[in-house]
């Protein structure tokens, strides 16, 4: 029985890591489809003009393209859209397998590794919602609120899978003070908010509303229209009253994303610096700082080089990478309250929190010693 459970656990781990890689691919390909204006390449769902593939619907696609050569439909765009749907469909099947295996392995352990049946079932619910959002993205003609929610749904799938993968790998956790844990949780929430701002900027085609950097139209206080910029229930390019969305509203969307980048990026860099000074979390801190700086650099390059497609897609991939880093860091710390009047500090040594053989420690934490006791000679 134990050998059989070990075989199931191995299959579960393989499925989880395959799904994690596939999810990252789906997120990046989805960004590519959106940024190359192929989101309506097939104007129906789930097929393409009622067919399984653009090859089978070629006559309808070519007729639509001939009627409007500059419209959203072409054979190339249809293939981009359908490849994204095929990948997402394959991911859905893989997630069903993960949920079944996770439920079968509930209560089982292999060292510190274990399944996460509740998270796997939650993941399935998110994927069902994500499928509906994908349908509404097409049938509701790229409404910004739906497209942004679709982006966030993809990121939610990625984050949940990263958490499940960490549990399946048995990566050990360290004890941390409540303030540290709260700061890391806040950092994750701030990153999600910033990703939502980025999605709102992209789905409203406001990425080049400010063509210069660090100013916007030569000013740090550009003309903006925040009231219409962030009205959620509206059509693409329109206000809630049905009027064309002003350039000042697009400027407000872009400028708010930049302000968010400064605030969230500063918070995460500060958190990374604090982590890098702790022996048990130095690697995490350095990786976090590197991820933030890379993402900021790509964002600046997008403005300076007028949003080339490759850099725009890389900016989406960078957001996904940062999300994975924050999930990894938040998973790595568990809450432990210290006795009154005592501070806890990690014992110096070669141990590091991360992907290593030493991670299989049955959930044990790295050794912590009260500083106050050590000063009294009791350590």
* Catalytic site residue from 81, 108, 235, 243: 81
Q: Specify the DSSP class assigned to residue 45.
A: S
Write the DSSP assignment of 75-100 as a string of letters.
HHHHHHHHHHHHHHHHHHHHHHHHHH
110 carries an active-site annotation:
no
Is it true that the peptide bond before 290 is cis, omega within 30 degrees of 0? Answer: no
Distance CA 138, CA 128 (A): 16
**Interior/surface letters 357-375, b for 16+ CB within 10 angstroms, e for the rest:** eebbeeeebbebebeeeee
Q: Cα–Cα–Cα angle for 269, 348, 345, nearest 5°?
A: 65
Closest by CA position to 313, among listed 88, 29, 10: 29
Maximum Cα–Cα distance across the chain: 85
Neighbours of 291 (CB within 10 A): 21
Find how far residue 205's CA is from the centre of its chain. Answer: 20
Q: How far apart are the first and last CA of the chain?
A: 44
Closest by CA position to 211, among listed 117, 300, 326: 300
Q: Which residues are catalytic?
A: 81
């Amino acid at each position: 029985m134990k050998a059989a459970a070990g075989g199931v656990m191995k299959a579960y781990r393989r499925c989880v890591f395959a799904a994690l890689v596939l999810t990252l691919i789906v997120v990046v390909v989805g960004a590519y489809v959106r940024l190359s204006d192929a989101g309506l390449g097939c104007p129906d769902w789930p097929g393409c003009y009622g067919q399984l593939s653009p090859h089978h619907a070629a006559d309808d696609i070519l007729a639509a393209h001939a009627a409007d050569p500059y419209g959203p439909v072409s054979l190339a765009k249809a293939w981009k859209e359908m490849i994204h749907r095929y990948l997402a469909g394959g991911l859905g099947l893989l997630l069903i397998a993960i949920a079944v295996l996770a439920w079968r392995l509930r209560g089982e352990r292999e060292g510190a590794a274990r399944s996460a049946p509740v998270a796997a079932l939650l993941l399935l619910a998110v994927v069902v919602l994500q499928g509906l959002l994908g349908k509404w993205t097409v049938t509701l003609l790229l409404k910004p609120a739906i497209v942004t929610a679709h982006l966030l749904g993809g990121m939610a799938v990625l984050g949940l899978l990263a958490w499940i993968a960490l549990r399946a790998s048995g990566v050990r956790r360290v004890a941390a003070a409540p303030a540290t844990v709260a700061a890391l949780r806040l950092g994750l929430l701030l990153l999600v908010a910033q990703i939502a701002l980025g999605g709102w900027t992209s789905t409203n085609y406001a990425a080049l509303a400010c063509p210069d950097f660090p100013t916007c139209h030569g000013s740090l206080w550009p003309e903006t229209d925040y009231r219409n910029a962030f009205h959620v229930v509206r059509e693409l390019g329109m206000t809630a009253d049905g009027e064309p969305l002003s350039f000042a509203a697009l400027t407000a969307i872009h400028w708010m994303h930049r302000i968010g980048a400064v605030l969230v990026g500063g918070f995460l860099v500060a958190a990374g610096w604090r982590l890098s000074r702790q022996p048990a979390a130095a690697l995490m801190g350095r990786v976090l700082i590197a991820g933030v700086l890379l993402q900021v650099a790509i964002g600046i390059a997008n403005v300076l080089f007028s949003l080339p497609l490759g850099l725009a897609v890389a900016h989406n991939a960078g957001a996904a990478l940062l999300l994975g880093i924050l999930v990894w860091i938040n998973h790595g710390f568990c809450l432990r309250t210290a006795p009154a009047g005592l501070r806890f500090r990690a014992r110096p040594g070669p141990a590091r929190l991360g992907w290593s053989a030493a991670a299989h420690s049955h959930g044990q934490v790295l050794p912590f010693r009260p500083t106050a006791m050590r000063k009294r000679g009791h350590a």
